[in-house]
Structure 1
Amino acid sequence: MQNLSPELRSCIEECLRCHSTCLGMAMNHCLQQGGKHVEPQHFKLMLACAEICQTAANFMLIGTHHHKHTCRECAEICEECARSCEQVGGMEECVQACRRCAESCRKMAA
């Protein structure tokens, strides 16, 4: 990662942080809590968010210009996931990780 710009490196780090936060919270916190935490729409969104974050990070690491597309989609899904986690409640760590990632990805997509 040494020849990447600081902005790119920062976005990759936010994506990877969001990936691990969403996946970890879905598989641990949400499954343990049950109820609205595991309603299909919310739970699938968390997994989709983790997946697009991983993909966006990978595209930036590969160095393809297509990262603008994955970052744009990543920002959109992260925002949606943040809203869903806010509505479910008790998921502030996920909300914050998603919002930081969305902001970083919007800059990369510009």
Structure 2
Amino acid sequence: MHHTSSEMQTCIDACLACYSECTSMAMGHCLEAGGQHTEPKHFKLMMACAEICRTSAHFMLLGTEHHKHICRECAEICRQCADDCEGLGDMESCVDACRKCADSCEKMAA
């Protein structure tokens, strides 16, 4: 049976939380706010962030060593998404979820 370490479980949880936060923030807050919040570059970044977070969690759950590559990319995209969301403002929960996920993924990628 495959066993996930507590550090990996923490990362899986952070990835799934970020996936959920980015998706709901984009579909709720951003679509309702409009303007810069729905600019293609920002919106695509949020969707890419959500998807890479979901994929990272999936790879860790599969128990494949390939998760390290995915986690490295996930951390990079999460940092970019956090900065972008912070720049637009009024998206603190998304910024926090992205940064937490990025920190956790960097540890898993090491």
Give the distance between the partners of 2:100 and 2:82, measured in 1 at CA: 10
Residues 23-61 of structure 1: CA distance to partner in whole angstroms, max 9, x if unpaired? Answer: 000001000000010001100000000000000000000
For 2:83 and 2:4, how far apart are their aligned partners in 1?
Answer: 31
Alignment of 1:28-107 (within 5 A): 28-107=28-107
Amino acid at match of 1:59: F
How far apart, CA to CA, are the structure 2 residues paired with 1:35 and 1:87? Answer: 14
Gaps of 5+ in 1: none
Q: Measure, in 1, the Cα distance between the counterparts of 2:84 and 2:104.
A: 19
Structure 2: gaps (5+ residues)? none
Provide the identity percentage.
Answer: 64
Aligned structure 1 segments of 4 or more residues deviating by more than 2 angstroms:
none
TM-score with structure 2 length normalisation? 0.98
Specify the SS of the correspondent of 1:23.
helix
User: SS of 1:15's equivalent?
Assistant: helix
Q: Deviation of residue 4 (structure 1)?
A: 1.0
TM-score, length-normalised on structure 1?
Answer: 0.98
Q: Name the CA distance, whole Å, in 2 between partners of 1:92 and 1:27.
A: 16
Distance 1:35 1:85 in 2: 13
- Secondary structure of 2:65's match? coil
